[in-house]
Amino acid sequence: MTIPLAGVILIAVAIIGGAIAMGAFIWAIRTKQFKDLNTGAYVIFDKEEPVGEMTDTTFGYPEKNNPKKEENKNEV
Amino acid sequence: MKSDHSIPGTEEAPELSYRILSDTSSSAPVIVFFTSAVVWLLVGTVFGLIASFKFNFPDWLGNIPALTFGRVRPAHLNSVIYGWASLGIAGLYVWLTARLCQTEVHWRRLLYISAILWNAGVLYGVVSILGGHSQGIEWLEFPKGAQTLIAMASVLLSLSILRTFYGRRVKHIYVSLWYILASVIWFPILYVIANLPFYSGVTQAAVNWWYAHNILTVWVTPAGLAAAYYFIPKVIGRPIHSYYLSLLGFWSFALFYNWNGIHHLIGGPLPTWLISVSIVASVLMFIPVITVAINHHLTMVGHFGKLRYSPTLRFVVFGAMCYTAVSFQGSIQALRSFNEITHFTHYTVGHAHLGLYAFFTMSIFGAIYYIMPRLTKWEWPYPVLIKFHFWLVALGITLYVISMTVGGFIQGLYMNDPSRPFMDSVQVTKPYLMARSIAGVVILIGHLFFIYLFYLMIKRKGVKRLTPPWYEKAEEYAR
């Protein structure tokens, strides 16, 4: 049985693709991406937008979670 | 709560200003992507509505060749997928990558070229379909020229995003970024392979559905999930409930989802093992889906009250809930015994819209509501219109999915009943198809509200609203 050229190309691409995914996984382990997972979740927060504060209040300000409420009243 | 929370992974980032840096640099390309996406959303909705009305009034517009069902329906699918969804994804990815890498957008010129090529490709493709030059393969109807333009555009987008990733200022790769990276690496490869010119017959069908399902795997779903994993914790101000589960979800998603395509061909003339493998993989999708469902629900628990204040949260949470629903439905639908009933019925159409609209489109709406004020430094002018938008599209898509699911299931039962004439299975769907058209009109009205708001945003028009403190700071930095 002969495999057509197209098939050979596609199988090669599939193997390379699998290797990329495997490589990414191994790289992630080596660079300790999966160590200390509890703190990883905090990477989207910072001092200006800390845990505990809402960052979208387009419909109005909640009573809690609004340290800047007094300022805002004055600015209207 | 002002806390001295140390932020792991951000030590190297310049204090305070990285968000300003990334938002400022992503502003122009993201607005270009979103604006063209919104235009295609309107075009796609109108085509969809015309196609829907043809089920209720079969002779309507029947004498204009370009507006016959066989052309309007693929025009709807392609303008929505390659126009609205893809350009929306591009905007989301550019913005989110810059933020999660805590750096500026690199190679912005490539992004502008990408946007131009992408729009040109979709325009050329949709006009060709209406002109009768479709390739006749579902999801791949665009002629080769249009496909070449889109393929080039997607490569340029990926290059820019990967370059931005390379220039990152943070060690930790957040779960959303994993989804984005997998997505931008695989989408161009998938798109080019599916469009190679040497498939025919059964192989063409296999490649067709391998592609059509994998565009959900590598393009649509990662975007929705990346949005949910970023916006839900970011808006409510609470980290993901179980970060470990979110990463397990990503890697199991990467392992299982790409095998699913062939379940579209159950009963088709393919090797049985090929279909069986696909069914097994479809059922294995329960694992990543449950990790996402648990995570998003437990992150939200105790914070549902915040849905009152944030449009982003409403849309994204609605999308995340529908992701669970559509994925469970998809896994069940892939089983042979169930597929016997629902295959070739409107049930499948309901499933597709639960995925692409109720999950994906709602998530992107949420993302746009969050991103735009940070790019234009202008708060959404009329919150009440956002509420109209949300309720119209949420009720519209709910009516759509319920009517198609119920109608399609009955249709399937009728088709499988040899004692009934085939026409019964057509007649029985009529009220459900009317409900679908009504739902479509409601959704279109919702979209008009959204488009009006979006127009006001890019023009910075309408009522100047009190902007939250972080926008004020942004202006200080810009000076």
| Among B367, B470, B479, B381, residue whose Cα is nearest residue B19 | B470
The partner residue sitting opposite A55, judged by closest CB among B170, B235, B473, is B235
Average confidence (pLDDT) over B2-12: 42
Predicted local distance difference test score (pLDDT) of residue B466 = 64
Q: Contacts of residue A39 in chain B, CB cutoff 8 Å? A: 8-9, 172
Name the one residue in this structure whose structure tokens are 């979103």. B34
CA dist B316 and B299 (Å) reads: 13
pLDDT of B71 > 90? The answer is: yes
Q: Specify if B185 maps to a domain.
A: no
| Chain segment B120-154, per-residue pLDDT in tens | 999 999 999 999 999 999 999 999 999 999 999 99
Using a 10 angstrom Cβ sphere, with 0-12 exposed, 13-18 middle and 19 or more buried, the burial of residue B58 is: exposed
Q: Write down which residue in B132, B150, B172 finishes a domain.
A: B172
| Chain segment A51-70, per-residue pLDDT in tens | 988 888 888 776 654 555 44
pLDDT of B426 > 60? The answer is: yes
Report how many domains make up chain B.
Answer: 2
Q: Do residue B152 and residue B218 come from a single domain?
A: no
CA-based end-to-end distance of chain B: 29
Q: Specify if B190 maps to a domain.
A: no
Predicted local distance difference test score (pLDDT) of residue B479 = 40
Q: Closest approach of chain B CAs to the CA of A6, in angstroms? A: 7
Q: Contacts of residue A33 in chain B, CB cutoff 8 Å? A: 172-173
CA dist B158 and B185 (Å) reads: 7
Q: Model confidence at B427, in pLDDT bands (50, 70, 90)?
A: very high
Q: Specify if B196 maps to a domain.
A: no
Nearest CA in chain A to B241: A41
CA dist B187 and B193 (Å) reads: 10
CA dist B433 and B56 (Å) reads: 7
Using a 10 angstrom Cβ sphere, with 0-12 exposed, 13-18 middle and 19 or more buried, the burial of residue B121 is: buried
Report CB contact under 8 Å: A34, B247.
yes
Whichever domain contains B462, its CATH number is 1.20.210.10
Q: Do residue B450 and residue B332 come from a single domain?
A: yes
CA dist B426 and B412 (Å) reads: 10
Q: Model confidence at A47, in pLDDT bands (50, 70, 90)?
A: confident
CA dist A25 and B255 (Å) reads: 12
The partner residue sitting opposite A59, judged by closest CB among B16, B181, B311, is B311
pLDDT of B12 > 70? The answer is: no
Contact B105, B44 (CB under 8 A): no
Report CB contact under 8 Å: B174, A56.
no
pLDDT of A1 > 80? The answer is: no
Q: Do residue B147 and residue B264 come from a single domain?
A: no
Report CB contact under 8 Å: A43, B9.
yes
Q: Specify if B426 maps to a domain.
A: yes
Look up the domain containing A38 and give its range. Answer: 5-75
| Alpha helices per DSSP H over B57-136 | 69-78, 86-100, 108-130
Q: Do residue B146 and residue B238 come from a single domain?
A: no
Average pLDDT, chain B: 92
Higher per-residue pLDDT: B473 or B308:
B308
Q: Specify if B186 maps to a domain.
A: no
Report how many domains make up chain A.
Answer: 1
Predicted local distance difference test score (pLDDT) of residue A36 = 81
Q: CA distances (Å), A44 to each of A31, B8, B170, B171, B312, in order?
A: 20, 10, 11, 12, 16
Report CB contact under 8 Å: A10, B186.
no
Q: Contacts of residue A51 in chain B, CB cutoff 8 Å? A: 1, 3, 5, 237-239
Nearest CA in chain B to A70: B469
Q: Model confidence at B9, in pLDDT bands (50, 70, 90)?
A: very low
Look up the domain containing B420 and give its range. Answer: 203-479
Q: Model confidence at A72, in pLDDT bands (50, 70, 90)?
A: very low
Predicted local distance difference test score (pLDDT) of residue B179 = 97
Average confidence (pLDDT) over B318-329: 97
CA dist B352 and B47 (Å) reads: 16
The partner residue sitting opposite B468, judged by closest CB among A13, A31, A57, is A57
pLDDT of A21 > 50? The answer is: yes
Q: Do residue B141 and residue B260 come from a single domain?
A: no
CA dist B462 and B7 (Å) reads: 38
Q: Model confidence at A2, in pLDDT bands (50, 70, 90)?
A: confident
Q: Closest approach of chain A CAs to the CA of B470, in angstroms? A: 8
Q: How many residues does chain A have?
A: 76
Q: Contacts of residue B234 in chain A, CB cutoff 8 Å? A: 44-45, 49, 55
Q: Do residue B259 and residue B149 come from a single domain?
A: no
Contact B406, B428 (CB under 8 A): no
Contact B51, B73 (CB under 8 A): yes
Q: CA distances (Å), B134 to each of B72, B74, B98, B349, B453, in order?
A: 11, 9, 37, 21, 35
Whichever domain contains B49, its CATH number is 1.20.120
Report CB contact under 8 Å: B470, A49.
yes
Q: Specify if B141 maps to a domain.
A: yes
Q: Specify if B103 maps to a domain.
A: yes
Q: Specify if B182 maps to a domain.
A: no
CA dist B89 and B129 (Å) reads: 23
Higher per-residue pLDDT: A16 or B85:
B85
Predicted local distance difference test score (pLDDT) of residue B97 = 97
> What three-state secondary structure class fits A34?
coil
Average confidence (pLDDT) over B143-171: 96
* Amino acid code (one letter) for A52: G
